[in-house]
Structure 1
Amino acid sequence: MKTITQFVAGQQLPPYTKDKVTKVQLVQYAGASGDFNPLHTDDTFAQKIGMPGVIAHGMLVMGFLGEYVNKIAGDAALVKNFNMRFGAMTFPKDVITCNGIVKDVYEENGKQMVVVTVTAEKGPEQIVGTGEATLEFQ
C-alpha cells in the first residue's frame, strides 16, 4: 500500500507503457464514447481530409493518463482533480508511455495531498498529452 511518505517534490515516478494503439481499439472506443467521427474509424475518410489515416480520439489518450494517475494513487489515495491538454496526434501502432513527476506534497484541511504532473508521449519529444492530478491520501 502506498503512503504519502513515498512521495517527494521533484520525484520522477515509474513510467507506464500501453500496448500499441490499434484500429480495433479506436472502433471500440468510438462505441464506448459515442464519438463516431469517421476521422477515428475510416482511413478513406481521414485520407480525404489530408490525414495519413485514422487518428486516435484525444479522450482515449486522456483515458491512458487517467489510468496512470489511478495506478499512482493505488488504494491509498483518491484522485481529487485531473486535467489534461492535448498535444501531437496519436495514430494506430503508436506506443504511448505515461510519465509523472511529483510537483508538490502538502497538507490541506488535515488531508495529505500530492500534486503530480503527467505526460503521455509516443516518442522522444512527441508529447500527445500533458496534465496534472491532485491525490488525497486517506
Structure 2
Amino acid sequence: MELTPQRFRVTRADLVRYAGASGDFNPIHWSDRFATGVGLPGVIAHGMLTMALAGRAVTQWAGSADAVVEYSVRFTRPVVVPDDDEGTEIEVTGAVKGTTEDGLTRIDVTAVCVGEKVLSQARALVRTSR
C-alpha cells in the first residue's frame, strides 16, 4: 500500500529558523562562500531538518506523533537550498511493508529532492488502530 505523497518547501529562511531552534549555526547552512569552499554545491539544509520533515509525514500518516514507535534514516545526499524566495522542495512518499502481530505497521519512507533520493533506509514502525 502506497501512502499519499507529501511535499515540504525548504527556504533559506527555514534554515535560519532551524538554526536558531537547534543551535546549529554551521556556516554550510547559511554561507554559499563557505559551503562551496568545503566542496558542497551550495548551502545545504540541516540533515536533522530533512529527517524531521520526513518524520512529519510519518506522523501525519499515523494520525498522531505518539503512534510512531520507531523511526530511523540514513543521509545519502545533501538538500541544496538556493538563495531565492522559492527554495527547494522535498517530496516524501511511503509504502506499508507489513504489520507485526502486536499491531505495529512498518513503513518504508522515501525522501526525494530535485529528483535525487536524500534519505536511505528510512523506516518507521507505527502503532495502528485495531
TM category (shorter chain) comes to 0.7 to 0.9
Gaps of 5+ in 2: 82-86
| 1:13-36 per-position Cα deviation (integer Å, ceiling 9, x unaligned) | 1100112x2111111111111111
Q: Kindly indicate whether the alpha-carbon contact (under 8 Å) linking 1:76 and 1:137 is maintained by their aligned counterparts in 2.
A: no
Structure 1: tracts of 5 or more residues without a match = 1-10
Which deviates the most, 68-77 or 94-103? 68-77
For residue 29 of structure 1, give the secondary structure of its aligned residue in structure 2.
Answer: helix
Q: Say if 2:50 is the partner of 1:61.
A: yes
Instruction: State the partner residue of 2:8.
Output: 18
Deviations along 1:61-119, one digit per CA (max 9) or x if unpaired, are 101111000011004971000001111110112210000000111222xxx21110001
Whichever of the two has the greater Rg, that structure is 1
What is the SS of the residue equivalent to 1:107?
Answer: coil
Identity of aligned residues (%): 40
Structure 2 distance, partners of 1:66, 1:129, is: 12
CA distance in structure 1 between the aligned counterparts of 2:41 and 2:64, rounded to whole angstroms = 41
Structure 2 residue 112 is matched with structure 1 residue 121 = yes
- AA paired with 2:111? A
RMSD: 1.7
Distance (whole Å) between structure 2 residues aligned to residue 46 and residue 56 of structure 1: 11
Decide whether the 8 Å contact of 1:81 with 1:134 is kept in 2.
Answer: yes
What is the rounded CA distance, in whole Å, between the counterparts of 2:17 and 2:65 in structure 1? 31
**How many equivalent pairs are there?**
123
Matches within 5 A, 1:34-53: 34-53=23-42
TM-score normalized by structure 1? 0.82
